[in-house]
Structure 1
Amino acid sequence: MASIEISDLHKTFAGIQVIQGLDLSIRDGEFISFLGPSGCGKSTLLFCIAGLEEIDRGSIQFDSTEVSDLPAGERNISLVFQDYALYPHMSVRENIAFPLRQQKIAPLVIAQQVSWAAGLLGIEHLLDRIPAQLSGGQRQRVAIGRAIVRNPAVLLMDEPLSNLDASLRVHTRTELRRLQKELGITVIFVTHDQEEAMVLSDRIAVVKDGVVQQFAAPMEVYAAPQNQFVAGFIGSPEMNFLPASVLGGRQEHVIGIRPHDLNLTTSASDKLQLSAELILVEHAGPYQFLDVSVSGMTVRATCTDATGLLLGQNLTLEVSRDKVHYFDAESGERVALSSPENVTRENPICSVAG
């Protein structure tokens, strides 16, 4: 197992800066996710840590030992790819054993390690099959078995669940988290799926244009996003953003409200209230999502029972003041407000819409 320290990392492709002076500290035994949209640099960062990409400048250390100049084979890492990359002519047993055979490990030790990895993943009964005889979920388990069989210091995973169907993806991520805790291994997991990152991670690094926007525990990223990009990327449905002027506030601010925090009401209260017109109802199991128009802008809210609501109907929505997020309109950075009392007294952003 290993801690990882990344300092001032730069990586450029064809004159385009993909990673820009990135700093990151990962503790031994953590499950870390790199989360961001396609093209943000998260896979490139993973490959730099793996040694598959050379860095232009900066430092990568495993347990305080510089590894930036070491080839991938000398970094004691394992990498699981999106497409599994199994050898089609080899059995499951041979696929899992392959990295140990490359290291010329004794056959008895190889057999013991393969048996251990297969038992941990519940694929003992598949050892004599070839990949063509396996389902997608079974192939993914074989790929993970091949990665862990050599007891790597760091396990790197590049969108390993994206080829699985929805139900299997949920089951596999649960098994993956159990496996990581059991092994105590340091894992870096690349994904564009914020739900996967939230469920699996000890901490999430949200990446945009090669820069880490926020690096924190999942619920901290969700509850206190560092900027407007993080706020919009984390959470489903995504956060509503409204100019403060809609609520009689200062135009240099933007307010953010999550749909799950914005609900129907029929009475006055000390909560923030919005007048809206209903334009769409979406049924989604225990919740109904309401698309409403607020001052000409579409906003999404939730309710548990949309019975009797009519399109075009005027509604009143409310949200607790402590669930409202504030961002600088120019920079997008989070604006910290001292207390609810000061907000009510001093900040017109929180005044009730008329």
Structure 2
Amino acid sequence: MASITIAGLRKSYRNTEILKSLDLSIKDGEFISFLGPSGCGKSTLLFCIAGLEEINDGSIRFDNREITELGPRERNIALVFQDYALYPHMTVRGNIAFPLQQQKVDQQTINKQVAWAAETLGLESLLDRLPSDLSGGQRQRVAVGRAIVRNPSVLLMDEPLSNLDASLRVRMRTEIRRLQRELKMTVIFVTHDQEEAMVLSDRIAVMKDGIVQQFAAPMTVYTDPANHFVAGFIGSPQMNFLPAGLSGYNNDLVLGVRPHDINPAKAAGDGVHFTGELAFVESAGPVHFLDVMVGGHLVKATCSDPSGLEPGSQITLKAPGHALRFFKSGSGARVHMSSQH
């Protein structure tokens, strides 16, 4: 296990700057996710930490020890990739044992570590099978077993669940989180899936264009987004964004409110009200989503019972004041309204 300190990290390819003077501090034993759209630099940052990419400037420290100039093997890290990268001619046992064999560890220790990894991941009955005889989830567990077998200081995972079907992804998320807690490992997990990041992480680094937009606990990122981009990227359905002037606020601001915080109004009270035409009712189990056109803008709201709500009818929606978020129209910077309205 190790803490990680990244200071002023820059990475460019020719004339294209990929990572722009990043600063991050990761605690020993934390589960951190790098989250963002394709091309934001999250995998590049992971590979810089792993030593697979050279950095142009800045420093990387493990437990306050400078490791920027060290190769991947000298950093005591383990990587799990999206495609598993298992050796097809080796059994599960051979794949898990391979890193220890490369380090010329004695056979008794190898047997002990392989048995421990197999037991931890529920692979005991599969040790003599080839990867071609395994399901996608089993292959992923073997890849994780190969990564943890030599007790790395940091486990780095690059979109490891993206090749799995939806139900298997959910099960593997639980397995990975359980494993991290049991082993108290420092884990960095790269994903473009916000749900994965929210469920798994102690903290999330939300990235865009090579810059960390916000680095905070999942619910802080969700309820207190740093800017317009973070607010729109986190949350499903996406946050509603409207000209603040529709609610009597400054016209230079954008008002953001999440669909779950907008509901049909039953009575007057605090907060803001929107009146528009109901376009569509979408049932999703216990929650029903309402698409409402308000001043030429589509607003998504929620309700528990859509009885009596007919498309084409007028509807008034209400959002409590505490659920409103405001952003500058141009820069997208967050504006706190305590001294505004």
TM-score normalised by length of structure 1: 0.95
Q: Which residue of 2 aligns with 1:162?
A: 162
Say which SS state the counterpart of residue 132 (structure 1) adopts.
helix
Q: Which residue of 1 aligns with 2:28?
A: 28
Q: Which residue of 1 aligns with 2:334?
A: 334
Deviations 1:235-262 (Å, cap 9, x if unpaired)?
Answer: 1001000111122321111110000111
How many residue pairs get aligned? The number is 341
Amino acid at match of 1:134: L
Structure 2 CA distance for aligned equivalents of residues 54 and 239 of structure 1: 38
Q: Which residue of 1 aligns with 2:263?
A: 263
Structure 1 CA distance for aligned equivalents of residues 163 and 282 of structure 2: 28
Deviates more, 1:299-308 or 1:134-143: 299-308
> 1:120: how far off?
0.4
Deviations 1:207-261 (Å, cap 9, x if unpaired)?
Answer: 0000000000011111100000000000100100011112232111111000011
Q: Which residue of 1 aligns with 2:280?
A: 280
Deviations 1:238-292 (Å, cap 9, x if unpaired)?
Answer: 1000111122321111110000111112322223211121111111111111111
Amino acid at match of 1:278: L
Deviates more, 1:270-279 or 1:85-94: 270-279
Q: Which residue of 2 aligns with 1:350?
A: none
Structure 1 CA distance for aligned equivalents of residues 172 and 209 of structure 2: 29
Amino acid at match of 1:257: V
Identity of aligned residues (%): 65
Amino acid at match of 2:281: V
Q: Counterparts of 1:298-317 in structure 2 under 5 Å? A: 298-317=298-317
The 8 Å contact of residues 228 and 334 in structure 2, kept in 1 or not, is answered as: yes
Q: Which residue of 2 aligns with 1:16?
A: 16
Q: Which residue of 1 aligns with 2:151?
A: 151
Amino acid at match of 2:249: G
Q: Counterparts of 1:160-309 in structure 2 under 5 Å? A: 160-309=160-309
Amino acid at match of 1:252: D
Q: Which residue of 1 aligns with 2:48?
A: 48
Say which SS state the counterpart of residue 170 (structure 1) adopts.
helix
1:6 partnered with 2:42: no
Amino acid at match of 1:325: R
> 1:75: how far off?
0.5
> Which segments of 5 or more consecutive residues in structure 2 lack a partner in the other structure?
none
Say which SS state the counterpart of residue 221 (structure 1) adopts.
helix
Structure 1 CA distance for aligned equivalents of residues 307 and 103 of structure 2: 65
Cα RMSD, aligned residues only = 0.9
> Which segments of 5 or more consecutive residues in structure 1 lack a partner in the other structure?
348-354
> 1:307: how far off?
2.6
Say which SS state the counterpart of residue 48 (structure 2) adopts.
helix
Say which SS state the counterpart of residue 279 (structure 1) adopts.
strand
Deviates more, 1:163-172 or 1:244-253: 244-253
Amino acid at match of 1:112: K
Q: Which residue of 1 aligns with 2:95?
A: 95
Q: Which residue of 2 aligns with 1:140?
A: 140
Amino acid at match of 2:336: A
Say which SS state the counterpart of residue 330 (structure 1) adopts.
coil
Deviations 1:314-334 (Å, cap 9, x if unpaired)?
Answer: 001111100111111122111
Q: Counterparts of 1:313-324 in structure 2 under 5 Å? A: 313-324=313-324
Amino acid at match of 1:32: I
The 8 Å contact of residues 247 and 273 in structure 2, kept in 1 or not, is answered as: no
Deviations 1:55-109 (Å, cap 9, x if unpaired)?
Answer: 0111001011111111111100000000000000100000000000000000010
In the TM superposition, structure 1's runs of 4+ consecutive aligned residues that sit over 3 Å from their partners are: none
